[in-house]
Amino acid sequence: MIPTPLSHIADLLGGRLVVRRDDTPDTLVSGLVDTDSRLIEPGGVFVAKPGETTDGHLFVGTAVERGAVLALVERELDDDVSQIVVPDVVAALGALASDVVARVRAHGDLKIVGITGSNGKTTTKNLLARILEVEGETVAPRASFNNEVGAPLTMLRVTDATRYLVSEFGASAPGAIARLAGLVTPDIGVVLMVGMAHAGGFGGIESTFHAKSELVTATREGGLAVLNADDPRVAAMEPIARERGQDVRWFGRGERAQVRALDVEVSASGTRAELLVDGEPHTLTLRVLGEHHVMNALAALAAATALGVAAADAIARLETVEIAERWRMQPMGSDRVRIINDAYNASPDSMAAALRTLAQITGPGERTVAVLGAMSELGEYADEEHDRVGLLAVRLRIQRIVVIGPEARRMYLEAIAQGSWDGEAVFFADADAAFAYLETELRDGDRVLVKSSNSAGLRHLGDRLGERFA
């Protein structure tokens, strides 16, 4: 965080300043801000966030031991550290982030890019950050820091030297993206796709559309909307952008896109695509597995070139990226038994894309094995969407379908109903039972996809399989 007096923070947040040690209201705070006491560094600010299972106020002492000089709290504590007492520390965190970014922006050259979409946010964020970090100091989220806590924590890492802030915005409910993006008013808003992820919480796909379009509305007037030309719902956000005086930059596979992929070839070593960037031909050899990641690369290219990065330079930097993020299409195992651990998140769209990738990268004499768990946050759509995955796995001729957990059982039942009944499809109640089966079932030449939502916990099964067959 940029140096800020305690009194300024307290006044900004409408909080009560409790001064401890040798501090005064004029004492400057400039350390990193975090809600995890284990990550606090000397000079840091600890946000004592109440949680569902524990309370951050219990860990203020730990934060002080690690060097915290300020705690944002909802009640005054006896710990020997200066405190600002506020009614809601999460709301205070957002307000502090907004203030810091505004002050940096006021006297610097900070450009802000916001990214949202039902799938691909984290990958696109990482790809764009890789491009921009060569141009100047770039701040981007760790992992999937895209909610009411993670997004402000990322914003608070900007300094007077920061040239680019790349923010990822997730949507837990309608209005969430508007609140998060409204903290910083991005110069560029990137919308990747509108799919079924979180549709259960939003009440359907149209509600998801309105939630994702909040980023375009929150992008500054006269800014830029980077939109997926191939997704009709994203394309329908163009009028919103035009009403705000924003230019629109399209990416996709169709002729409308200024940043466009032509021929795409998928292999076990990555994806090769012939591109047109503003009419100029380029070739991209992406080491990240999966044809669907080409669209994420196009979105990153569209934003980066709009910021003045030469297309050839941006493409060369994209080609250095080996994996999008841990547990996202992460190759593990060995050439003998290749494990693809993609179990950090799952939606109907990403599940379908991962299964298609598995089929595409498996050569003659090799066997496709899909290890599948539940997709979360689908609400009333859960049954039919899990059925669709089972059906797709059969239609793609996946040779072994291993379904894990009662929430995912319908995938297995649908696969059986579609003809995968002679041992091709199996079901296990938990990951340990599945691991015991796979230890003896997997053989040389197998290409194994492990895919589920984070809540299913299969990413750890993927790690175990990767170690077992390394």
Beta bridge partners of 113: 166, 188
- Same domain flag for 362 and 261: no
Q: Measuring CA to CA, how many Å separate 114 from each of 62, 182, 236, 372?
A: 34, 10, 18, 31
Question: According to the annotation, is 345 in a ligand binding site?
Answer: no
Question: According to the annotation, is 201 in a ligand binding site?
Answer: no
Contacts of 409 (CB under 8 A, 6+ apart): 403, 427
Does residue 325 lie within any of the structural domains? no
Beta bridge partners of 402: 371, 426
Domain boundary among 291, 318, 345: 318
- Same domain flag for 56 and 149: no
- Same domain flag for 74 and 116: no
Sign of the C-alpha dihedral computed for residues 452, 457, 458 and 463 taken in this order: positive
Q: What is the structure's pLDDT at 196? A: 64
Question: According to the annotation, is 144 in a ligand binding site?
Answer: no
Strands (E), 229-293: 247-252, 259-267, 270-277, 280-286
Contacts of 357 (CB under 8 A, 6+ apart): 266, 289, 290, 291, 292, 329, 340, 449
Does residue 323 lie within any of the structural domains? no
Determine phi and psi for 130, rounding to 5 degrees.
-60, -40
Q: What is the structure's pLDDT at 256? A: 95
- Same domain flag for 77 and 123: no
- Same domain flag for 17 and 81: yes
Does residue 215 lie within any of the structural domains? yes
Structure tokens at 64: 């002080």
Number of domains forming the structure of the chain: 3
Question: According to the annotation, is 121 in a ligand binding site?
Answer: yes
Domain that holds residue 358: 330-468
- Same domain flag for 345 and 267: no
Q: Using CA atoms, how far apart are residues 77 and 59, in angstroms rounded to an integer? A: 11
Question: According to the annotation, is 118 in a ligand binding site?
Answer: yes
CATH of the domain at 135: 3.40.1190.10
Does residue 453 lie within any of the structural domains? yes
- Same domain flag for 35 and 114: no
- Same domain flag for 125 and 34: no
Does residue 278 lie within any of the structural domains? yes
Does residue 378 lie within any of the structural domains? yes
Determine phi and psi for 150, rounding to 5 degrees.
-60, -40
- Same domain flag for 280 and 163: yes
CATH of the domain at 409: 3.90.190.20
Q: What is the structure's pLDDT at 318? A: 97
CATH of the domain at 58: 3.40.1390.10
Structure tokens at 326: 């841990």
Per residue in 398-409, is it b (16+ CB within 10 Å) or e — as a string?
A: bbbbbbbbebbb
- pLDDT tens track of the chain, all 470 residues? 999 999 999 999 999 999 999 999 999 999 999 999 999 999 999 999 998 788 999 999 999 999 999 999 999 999 999 999 999 999 999 999 999 999 999 988 999 999 999 888 999 999 999 999 999 999 999 877 889 999 999 999 999 999 999 999 987 778 999 999 999 999 999 999 997 655 555 556 787 888 899 999 999 999 999 999 999 999 999 999 999 999 999 999 999 999 999 999 988 888 999 999 999 999 999 998 888 899 999 999 999 999 999 999 999 999 999 887 788 889 999 999 999 999 988 889 899 999 999 999 999 999 999 999 999 888 888 999 999 999 999 999 999 999 999 999 999 999 999 987 677 999 999 999 999 999 999 999 999 999 999 889 899 999 999 999 99
Report the DSSP pairing between strands 270-277 and 280-286: antiparallel
